[in-house]
């Protein structure tokens, strides 16, 4: 019987190998040789699937976004009746609280630096973030409709801020171990972040003080 090659699977393996190298050594570590070695294929196989390094890097970015997107979808389905809890789970899935999420944050930071020189990477990253914002906005709008969260603020502005705050904290935690430690020391960092953007008091009973 002829050998059946699962091309999609092989592309994924090569993209995953690129992600592993980016997380470990940054963008500079990504060479066709290093990626082929990490994936266990020859550079010839690699060049069959990806014409150049740029194509491979874009495939890796899409793969990272796909993995994170799957996490979002899984978490979105949890606690369907509790808007703050759903947003908390989403936010915490992006914070660098374990090795996998540290690697993902590093990878996205590398692509953020790419956007000024690579229009396709810019578009891919912008689309990914826009999807995340829309998901957050829909959850917030539903919460405003059913009265579970305050209605005073525009959900599209709150979604923009929530995604930016989560991402800013994630990047700062990767840069500065003291920030990473502070986030890990909080039992539910996502809840504070969500409460802040929604203008809620904290859930442990201490309300936000007002002057």
Alpha-carbon span 197 to 195, nearest angstrom: 6
CA distance 179 to 169: 8
Does 34 contact its own copies by CB under 8 A? no
Angle (CA) 78-84-88 rounded to 5° is 70
**Could you tell me if 18 and 32 are in contact, meaning their C-beta atoms sit under 8 angstroms apart?**
no
For its own copies, the closer CB: 8 or 187: 187
Among residues 16 and 124, whose Cβ is nearest to its own copies? 124
- Residue 206 is a binding residue for its own copies (CB under 8 A): yes
Q: Which of 210, 192, 194, 163 is nearest to 83 (CA)?
A: 194
Residue 44 burial class via C-beta count within 10 angstroms: exposed 0-12, middle 13-18, buried 19 and up = exposed
User: Which listed residue (11, 62, 153, 188) binds its own copies by CB under 8 A?
Assistant: 153
Q: What is the largest CA-CA distance in the chain?
A: 77
CB of 33 to its own copies, least distance (A): 18
Select from 10, 11, 26, 32 the one that contacts its own copies (CB under 8 A). 26
Q: Does 54 engage in binding with its own copies (CB under 8 A)?
A: no
How near is the Cβ of 178 to its own copies at its closest, in Å?
8
The residues that touch its own copies, with contacts defined as CB under 8 A, are 23, 25-29, 106, 109-110, 112-117, 122, 125-126, 129-130, 147-153, 157, 160-161, 163-169, 171-172, 174-176, 178-179, 182, 192-193, 196-197, 199-201, 206-211
């Amino acid at each position: 019987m002829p050998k059946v090659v699962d091309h999609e699977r092989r592309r994924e393996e090569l993209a995953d190998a690129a992600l592993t190298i980016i997380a470990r050594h940054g963008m500079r570590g990504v060479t066709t040789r290093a990626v082929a070695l990490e994936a266990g294929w020859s550079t010839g196989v690699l060049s069959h699937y990806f014409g150049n390094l740029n194509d491979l890097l874009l495939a890796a970015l899409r793969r990272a976004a796909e993995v994170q997107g799957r996490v979002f979808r899984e978490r979105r389905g949890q606690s369907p009746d509790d808007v703050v809890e759903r947003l908390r789970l989403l936010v915490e899935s992006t914070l660098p609280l374990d090795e996998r999420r540290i690697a993902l944050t590093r990878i996205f930071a590398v692509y953020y630096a790419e956007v000024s020189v690579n229009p396709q990477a810019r578009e891919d990253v912008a689309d990914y973030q826009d999807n995340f914002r829309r998901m957050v906005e829909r959850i917030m709008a539903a919460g405003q409709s059913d009265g579970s969260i305050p209605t005073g603020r525009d959900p599209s502005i709150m979604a923009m801020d929530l995604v930016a705050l989560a991402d800013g904290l994630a990047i700062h935690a990767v840069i500065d171990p003291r920030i990473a430690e502070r986030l890990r020391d909080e039992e539910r960092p996502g809840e504070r972040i969500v409460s802040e953007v929604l203008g809620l008091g904290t859930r442990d009973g201490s309300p936000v003080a007002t002057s």
